[in-house]
Amino acid sequence: MDSTSKRELLVSKIDNGIVIDHIPAGKAFQVLRLLKVEPDAQAFIAQNVDSKTMGRKDLIKVEGTYLTSRQIDLIAFLAPDATLNIIQDWDVKEKRKIQLPKQVEGIFRCPNPLCPTNAQYTPSRTIFKVEKGERIEETKLNCTYCGSVTYYGPILDQLTRDGIAVEGSGLVSQEKIERVLLDALVKGGALRFQPTPKEPFTLKSGRKSPYFVNLGALTDGESLGKLKWAFASYIALQMEKGEIPDFDYVFGPSYKGISLAALTCEGLRELYGMKKRFMYDRKEEKGYGDMTADKVIVGAGYYKPGQRILVVDDTITTGATKIDTFEKLHLLEDHKVVGLVIAVDRQEKMGDADHIEAKTPSENIEEELGIKVFSIQNIKTIYSLIKDGLDPEMKRLWLEYYNKYGAVKLE
Ligand code: CTP
Ligand code: ZN
Q: What is the CATH number of the domain that holds 81?
A: 3.30.70.140
- C-alpha 91 to ligand 1 mean position (Å): 9
Domain co-membership, 232 together with 141: no
In the predicted model, what is the mean pLDDT of residues 359-365?
A: 91
Report the C-alpha gap between 25 and 57 in whole angstroms.
4
Question: Does residue 23 surpass a pLDDT of 90?
Answer: yes
45 domain residue, yes or no: yes
Give the model's pLDDT for residue 252. Answer: 95
Domain co-membership, 342 together with 362: yes
Nearest residue by C-alpha to atom 1 in ligand 1? 13
Q: How many domains does the chain have?
A: 3
31 domain residue, yes or no: yes
Question: Does residue 25 surpass a pLDDT of 50?
Answer: yes
> End of a domain among 74, 97, 120?
97
pLDDT tens-digit series, residues 174-191: 888 999 999 999 999 999
Nearest residue by C-alpha to atom 18 in ligand 1? 92
Q: Is 16 left (phi over 0), alpha (psi -120 to 50) or beta?
A: beta
pLDDT tens-digit series, residues 388-400: 988 899 999 999 9
410 domain residue, yes or no: no
Give the model's pLDDT for residue 1. Answer: 45
Instruction: Provide the pLDDT confidence category of residue 166 given band limits of 50, 70 and 90.
Output: low
In the predicted model, what is the mean pLDDT of residues 197-223?
A: 92
- Ligand 1 atom nearest 90 alpha carbon: 8
411 domain residue, yes or no: no
Domain that residue 252 falls in: 171-405
Instruction: Provide the pLDDT confidence category of residue 288 given band limits of 50, 70 and 90.
Output: low
Which of 3, 14, 19 for a ligand 1 pocket mutation test, highest count of atoms within 8 Å of Cβ? 19
Helix (H) or strand (E) holding 91: strand 91-97
143 domain residue, yes or no: yes
Question: Does residue 285 surpass a pLDDT of 70?
Answer: no
Domain co-membership, 112 together with 217: no
Domain co-membership, 146 together with 283: no
Instruction: Provide the 8-state DSSP code for 123.
Output: P
User: How large is the C-alpha radius of gyration of the chain?
Assistant: 25
pLDDT tens-digit series, residues 139-163: 999 999 999 999 999 998 888 776 6
Domain co-membership, 55 together with 109: no
User: What CATH number should be reported for the domain holding residue 148?
Assistant: 2.30.30.20
Percent of the chain with pLDDT over 90: 61
Whether the model clears a pTM of 0.85, i.e. scores above it, the answer is: no
User: How does 9-38 read in b/e, with b if 16+ C-beta sit within 10 Å?
Assistant: eeeeebebbbbbbbbbeebbebbbebbbbb
49 closest CA partner among 3, 85, 84, 1: 3
Residues within 6 Å of ligand 1 by CB: 8, 13-14, 19, 21, 59, 61, 83, 85, 87, 90, 92, 95
> End of a domain among 97, 121, 142?
97
- C-alpha 266 to ligand 2 mean position (Å): 28
Domain co-membership, 118 together with 183: no
Give the model's pLDDT for residue 320. Answer: 66
393 domain residue, yes or no: yes
